[in-house]
Structures are given as C-alpha cells and as structure tokens.
Structure 1
Amino acid sequence: MADVIIAGAGPVGLMLACELRLAGVDVLVLERLAERNGESRAGGLHARSVELLDQRGIADRFLAAGRTGPLAHFSFIPLDIGDLPTRHPYALAIHQSRVERLLEERAIELGVRLRRSAEVIGLRQDGTGVEVQIAGVRGTERLRAGYLVGCDGGRSAVRKLAGIGYPGTPATVTALMGDVKLTDPPPGIVFGAESRREHGSFMIFDSDRPDTHRVITMEFDKVTDRDAPVTLEALRLACIKIAGTDFGMHSPHWLSSFSDAARQADRYREGRVLLAGDAAHIHFPSSGQGMNLGLQDAVNLGWKLAAVARGQATEELLDSYHAERHPATERMLGSIRAQTALWRPGAQTDALREVFGALVEFEDTNRYLGGVCTQLDIRYPVGDGHPALGRRMPDLDIKTPSGQTRAFELLHAARPVLLDFTGRPDLRAALEGWTDRVDLVEAECQDDHWTYPVIGDVPAPAAVLIRPDGHVAWAAPTAPAGSATPETTTAALTSALTRWFGPAQGR
C-alpha cells in the first residue's frame, strides 16, 4: 500500500511525486501510456515556475535544456518583464517532452515508483484510504493508498470517477496542431500578432525534433467534435484557408486539436481524492499558462498532502489547497478569456488591440500584466498584517553562520523555514515544539525593503515563516509597535505554526 497514488506521469504528476518524496512519502505514479509519447503541447516555463525549480535546486537542469528570452505577452501584445523583481525575469522556452524527461529523472533519483501501462478505471474510498482499480498488461488489478491525486489531464478519469463537476464556458474556437515536415517553410518563425489573418491565425516554429516544425491553426466561431481524429489533410486545409499555403507540409509526427473551452473543477478535493493540473482546469493556451498553473498546483499541494499523510497535520490542511489554488486559477482563466477575445480577427478587435497596446506602454499597466502572466503576483489568503503575507518569498541574498547564501537555497529540502534576521530568543523558544519539521535559520540581510511585482516595495520584516512552497505564512514587524508586543508576535507565530504544520510535538 502506497501513501499516495498519482494518476498521470506528465509534468504535474511528476512534480507532485518529487515534492512528496522530498517529504519522505511513499509514492506510486500510474501512467496509462506504455512510454513517453514525445508530444509537446506546452512549450515554456514562466518566471514563477523557474523559481519553483530554483527553490528545489534543480533549475539549472531545465535552463540547460531550454532557451531563455524576454518573451511575455498579453494576447501577443508584448510586455516588458526585464525589470521584474526576480532572478528569472524571462520565459524559458522548453518543450513539455523535455520537462517530463527531466522531472522523471529527478523522480527516479528521489525513489518515486513509476508504473506505465496502468490506466485507472475505478476507485472506491473509505475512511482510511482509496482503492484504485487499474487495467494494464497484467489485466485488472486493485491497489490501495491513503490518497489518490488525479493528474491525468482534461478528460481525467479520476475526476469523473470521484463525481467532481467540471463547469465552465464552451468552445468557440477550433485549433489544430501538429509536428510536421515542411518542404517550403517560412524564412523565420511565425509567432505573434503578425500571424492574425482574416479567417483566423496560424503559427509556425521549430519543434523539438530535427527538421520538423510545429504548425498551429486557429479558426474562430467554428467548433468541431473534440473526439474526431485530426488528419494531416484537415491541418493542410486550415493552413491554406488562413495563410494561403500549406508550406508543403507532410510526414506528420503527431497531430492534435484544442479549443478555447475553459473549465474548472468545482472542488479540488473529494475526501481522499484530489485533482491537479488539467484534471482541475483547462483553457485556451493564451500566454502559455497551462503547464505553469499545474506546476503551481503540485508545489502547493505536495507539502500539505505529505504533512497529512505522515500524520503531522489534520485533513483540514488539505482544504487550503482548494481555498488557495481554485481562486488563483479562476482569476487566470478570466485573463485567458480576455486574451482570447483580443485575438479574434476583425476590424473591431484590431481597434481594441491598438488601444490596449497603447495602454500597455504605461508602466503601471505593464507591471500589472507582467505580474499576472508570469504568476509572480499570486497572494494566497493566509491572513492580514504584513503585506508579504501569502506572497512568494523573495530570493534574498543573506548571510548565515554557514556563510553567504540565498533564500531559495534554504528551501531545497522542501521543509518550512523560520528565517530570523534579529536572533530573538523568544522566536527560538516559540519554535521548540516544531523543530522536528521546521528549520530555524538566523541570518543577516542588507535589504530593508522587499520588492514585489505590482505592489512595489514593502518594509522588510524582522522574521518570516516560509512554507515549503515558498509563500510567506507569518511575518514579524521590523520593530514592535502599538499592539505588536513581543508576546503578541510570538503568539501569532505559534498560531501560524499550528495552522500550517500541525500541533507542537508531544501535544
């Protein structure tokens, strides 16, 4: 019996598996496919996703496999993200297939068990666990785990079997996509505003296979059967209709389709069954958010599920997963719907894009949209008080008794950290009941302000409790003032420790 079974070995399932193994949880990943299919529907990672990898000490692997560039846009209206307050003010162009390969290698390093040719076809849960029925090369089997997480895509079997609703808005766009060979390719990539045409849009750029191009066509106000197979002829005809030529396409490696249907699970948890990634939300790929949203799901859920699975926290902690990720994704779906509307062909949309493009030239507008599209502006509802609460911890340069380091390096083990810049004995005493699961780091930092996207500078706190996902769970004011006495400060710390990391040891 595994502690957790994950259905789906895509980027989200593998990232979640890595997070759980870092916490010592026994994980079994089930994958319907016999081997990685090499398809790359997603093509890049945004700044916050690279930060998540940096927090775990593995960002260099992905940076070496991709290409960085100042690519950020809102419906292909360029955004300047070069001055965002992050060590990674860029997008990383890296195909999904490479992300999967690197995460699978990391998962194996950590001891994750991966079983392919295993499709989830049934589940039944009770008060102590989940029985999962699978079909594969060994026939039909039943496995048991404490929890089951569906990371099995937009048509998630886990979501359907758990009876979780998937409401949203229907499709209005048909998009075809394929990796094909071109005998007469364009001289460069076709990507961005120049790809809009009277009958839709098309994009062409390099794929992750030699001598092969990725071709994408989008036709608005046309909806086809999503179960209909995609053929080379259909992609050719769509490309001819929109671009006037098929560029001599032939020899498809793979073909697929997608739409602008936007749906979100009405709850991310049903008892001991949870959802993440496309199983929890789907949308049009405007500004490339899909894989990035899923990785955020995985890192938000991983440490919480691990704490509950190990008996360190109650199941109420799992409810915070939905409470945090559902509204954050819902907000992003609204942004994506707006970008899709701005992408429609026609004179009225052209005029709207011209006005919107002028607005983006204003620094405040650019900063706001840059924070949204890179997902650096997320603030979870962890409580009121210091403006850093609920936001990602900045990757500060700090000096500890062990030497110079960065804040993100403290998170490599995926453990919570109490980072104290004052050496206060009352904070050390307050932490005593949690030293088995929370690391205390006393450090010096020269920054008297922290800089965040959108909101700008905030006063640096005297101490900060950082969750394993890198978000701030508690912050002490720089100097006690008014009602913020040392006693109330430590009481607030104790409350935060209990809320997020369970009761003190021995209680």
Structure 2
Amino acid sequence: MERVIAQADVVIAGGGPVGMLLAAELAGYGVDTVVLEAKAATDDQPKANTLHARTVQSLARRGYLDAPWPADNDTPARAPFHFGGITELTVTSPATEPVPLLKRPQSDLERQFEETARARGARILRGHLVVEAAQSAHGVQVTAEGPDGRRTVRAAYLVGADGARSRVREQIAFPTDTWPASVSALMGRVRVAAPDVLPGGWHRTPRGWIVSRPEPGEHRLIRTLDCASAHPDRHAPVGPDEFRREVSRIAGHEVEMSDATSLTRFGDFTRLARTFRRDRVFLVGDAAHLHFPIGGQGLSTGLLDALNLGWKLAHSVRGAAGKGLLESYDDERRPVALRLVENTFAQLALMRSGSDVDALRSLFSDVLATRDGHALISGMISAQDTVHPARSVQPSPWEGRFLENRPLRTENEGPTDLIGLLRDGRPFLLLTAGADRHLADTAGRWSHVVRTVRVPDDADLPCQALLVRPDGYVGWASDGGDLAEALTAWFGGTPA
C-alpha cells in the first residue's frame, strides 16, 4: 500500500541530531518540514558527546543551549583537550562566551531537537526508511518504507541527513572523494576487574592506543586503535572475547573485563562529497563528510552545517533569498569539512608507531608550546577560526567573521547581548547613534526580513554599523561596500 503526504516545503532524510536540529530550525521559521527517520526511537548506544566552542556559541545564540558560563566573566575560559593524543592542547573561548567545551551525549541532543521540532510543527515520521529519492526542476520526491507500507513525500527541497550510508547521496548521485581505511579501532562499554591496570586517559603502547573513560556504575568506555592495518571487514560484529583480547594485546598484559556492551568496530575510511548541493538537494553531517572520529569534531561540524543551511533554506522557501544564497551553503561549509578531513589525517599520522613518529610528536609538542602554534590548533579544533568567504564587491575585513558576544544597551529592548538578539533567528542591522542616517532608511526597505537595532556610540563594536546573519556571522560592515547591495545579495530585492 502506498500513501502520499501532501506537499511539504522541505523533507529531511535522517533524524539524528543533525537532521532534528535542521527540522527545529526550519519549523521555527514556519517552514512546513517532514523528517523521515528509519529508527523507531532514539539510539542510546555510546556515540559522539563533544560540543566544541563554535558549536556551543552557535547553539546558545539560537536558544538550544543554556550552556554554563566561565566563573570569571573577565577571563577567557579554557578547557583541556588533545590533538592526536598530545594532551598539551587547551581550547579557549572569549570571557563573554559560554564554556569552550561541553559534553552532551548525542542521544540527549537528538531528543531535545526532536521535541523542539515537533513543538514547532515539524512532522517527524519514525520507522520510515528512505528507499528512493529524485528531483526535477519543480521539486523533489522521496519514497520511504514505513510500518504501513510505502509513503511518498513531495517537497520543494530535500536534505540528506541520513549518515555515512546516505541513500540520498547515492540516489541523487553526488560525486565524492574517498580514502580507504588504514587503521582498525574498537569501542565498548565494560566493567574492568582491576580498574587500576587501565586508568582513565590516553595510553600509547608500541602496539597501538587505548583510551579509557570512567562511566557511572563502575563501567568504562574503552576505545582501541591499531594503526598497523585496517580490519578486512569493518562491518563485522565485535564479540566480548575479541574486544578483551584486543585491549589486552595493546596494553601488553591481560585485562580482565565483564559485562561488555555497545561493542562496535570502526576505522578511518573517509569520504567527502565534492559538492554539498545538487540543485534542490543538500547534504549535511556524515552524509556530506565522513572521517575518523578523532578530536570529537564530527557532531559539532554536522550541527554547524544545519545551522548554516537552516536559515538559508527558510528564506528561500519564503521568497526572501538573494540570488546565490543557497549556493553559499556549499561555498561556506565544504571548505570547513575539507579542513576537518585534513586535520584528522594529520592526527592519525601523529598516532602511528615508529621512531620517525616519535620525533614528529616531540616536535609537535614544541609547536603547541608556542602561542601562535597553540592558537592555530585550538582555533582549528574548536572551529573558532572559521571565516566565511565574503560576498560583497568591496567587502569589509569583518565580513564573514563570527561576531563575538558582548553586552549591549539597545534603544528599544534595553540591556541585552548579542546572544539574546539572535534568539529569534532574524537577521539584524546593529546601528550606532553616530552611523550614517541613510543606513537606517536603507535597512527599512528590508524591514520585512531585517530588523534595525540601535545602540549607543560607546557600544563595543568594530564598526558603526554591522549586518548580523541569523547564525551570528557578519554579512556586511560599514567599512565595506554598499548596504543595499549587501541586503539584495543576502535577502533579494525589496518589495515593489
């Protein structure tokens, strides 16, 4: 039996945290959104749990995180981290921003985003596996197998958030670059008989790596890494005996364990789509970029994909998008993903065995000890170094940069800050009292999309006027080109 849903604006294939966040964003803008998710319920198996600084900052701006703040509002917050198992790295964020590192299980985020998406009117269809996807000049059509048979959804746009084995990517024939696996890794939650023989932290031996993390109930989440070769079948199931033998082999002594659960096998097979958009179809998260999960960057990168694409799709659906707005998703997010792939390759190179790698790790530790080297790696891992390409003919140096949070005294809304101003997802023009008067008149012609926020001249702003995108990045600044040109590029022409 086949059932047809009335046309939606956007259909999302995949309801993991990335797909659910995108659904919540779109529904918040009033976009009719359908999510097709194969799983009947959220999967609680251990997966990603790291949110890096730029993701924490971005989710806070959109109201999804009431993230903790540094104890000292005048001092940048710091969090210890690592690069390729070198633990001298510290991730820092400005004192005006939430903490630079937040641990939240992927399953918790998925539930939160799904609850928000449903509350905003998105239709979440669990137990529906996408089997076919196609597009034409006028829209997309997606067919899924569900509990009641086949169901077809027709929409204006399709987003593939369906993970590493994305059916959308295959059906729409997105070209990709791939790199074969070269390492073998296992993960599992176990109870260790003698916890002192495998304390928490990173352990490097001549045979590989063990990462041990204590968990509630006397369990540990343990990951192993063997850099010698890839497993011949990365999809083969892992049994408790194999897991115990591998942990013991790498440790160099017998490690007795019991109550093994959540056993999985993974490697460094890598895939990067050559484009994240094909006409009416987009890829986000693992469907677009798959890499070895070192550095905890995958979840954060996927969520930033969703936050970048969400407002652009919404403006396009609502007819308030400039020419090329949807193309900017690929222009902005694919370079970030490529850099992510490259830094995971670099981290794995630092984790292999051999005297040459020992020398490289020693040198890299020295680099991390320098201010510039440390800032480079910290910014890359946390995505705080992301600067989007400018779209203006005469861009300001601030265009494409993330605007750091700061307290503001606004004319109409009283005391607030940048995070508070972005909660409603609407772009705005920050205008100081001394800014050119014609700027307010120009912005007024786009008042159906952009609001004007007036602040005193003593506001801590880099320019007298700034156009702030819904994702917190600067779209135009007054030391650049023409405001009307920028507003047209982002949000289309003004009403007649």
Establish whether TM, by shorter chain, passes 0.5: yes
Residue 447 (structure 1) shift: 5.6
2:79 corresponding residue in structure 1? 70
Q: Show the 5 A alignment for 1:34-113.
A: 34-60=40-66, 70-77=79-86, 78-82=88-92, 84=94, 87-113=97-123
2:495 corresponding residue in structure 1? 505
Q: Show the 5 A alignment for 1:10-409.
A: 10-60=16-66, 70-77=79-86, 78-82=88-92, 84=94, 87-186=97-196, 189-192=199-202, 195-207=203-215, 210-224=217-231, 225-245=233-253, 247-313=255-321, 316-383=324-391, 385-401=395-411, 402-409=413-420
Residues 415 and 437, structure 1, Cα contact 8 Å, conserved in 2: yes
Residue 94 (structure 1) shift: 1.9
1:107-166 CA distance string (max 9 Å, x none): 233222211100000012112211111012111222211111011111111101111122
1:426 equivalent to 2:438? Answer yes
1:464 corresponding residue in structure 2? 466
Residue 376 (structure 1) shift: 0.7
1:316-345 CA distance string (max 9 Å, x none): 321111111111211121112111101112
Of the three residues 468, 475, 478, the one matched with 2:477 is 475
Letter in 2 for 1:72: F
Residue 238 (structure 1) shift: 1.1
TM-score of the superposed pair, with normalisation by structure 1: 0.89
1:480 corresponding residue in structure 2? none
Q: Distance in 2 between matches of 1:247 and 1:466?
A: 54
Residue 106 (structure 1) shift: 2.2
1:198-257 CA distance string (max 9 Å, x none): 1110111134x6443211111113212122222222222211110135643333332222
Judged with a 3 Å threshold, the aligned counterparts in structure 2 of structure 1 residues 206 and 339 are, in CA distance, closer, same or farther, namely same
Residue 282 (structure 1) shift: 0.8
1:479-500 CA distance string (max 9 Å, x none): xxxxx7xxxx5xx111111111
Judged with a 3 Å threshold, the aligned counterparts in structure 2 of structure 1 residues 429 and 257 are, in CA distance, closer, same or farther, namely same
Residue 32 (structure 1) shift: 0.5
Residue 369 (structure 1) shift: 1.3
Q: Distance in 1 between matches of 2:404 and 2:457?
A: 12
Judged with a 3 Å threshold, the aligned counterparts in structure 2 of structure 1 residues 189 and 32 are, in CA distance, closer, same or farther, namely farther
2:12 corresponding residue in structure 1? 6
Residues 23 and 122, structure 2, Cα contact 8 Å, conserved in 1: yes
1:494 equivalent to 2:484? Answer yes
Residue 277 (structure 1) shift: 0.2
Q: Distance in 1 between matches of 2:436 and 2:263?
A: 60
Q: Distance in 2 between matches of 1:289 and 1:147?
A: 27
Q: Distance in 1 between matches of 2:168 and 2:257?
A: 38
Q: Distance in 1 between matches of 2:83 and 2:457?
A: 36
Letter in 2 for 1:358: D
Residues 62 and 102, structure 1, Cα contact 8 Å, conserved in 2: no
233-242 vs 69-78, which moves further: 69-78
Unpaired stretches in structure 2, ≥5 consecutive residues: 1-6, 70-76
Q: State the Cα RMSD in Å.
A: 2.1
324-333 vs 227-236, which moves further: 227-236
Residues 60 and 67, structure 2, Cα contact 8 Å, conserved in 1: no
Residues 397 and 445, structure 1, Cα contact 8 Å, conserved in 2: no
Q: Secondary structure at the match of 2:343?
A: helix
TM-score of the superposed pair, with normalisation by structure 2: 0.91
Instruction: State, as a whole percentage, how many aligned pairs show the same letter.
Output: 37
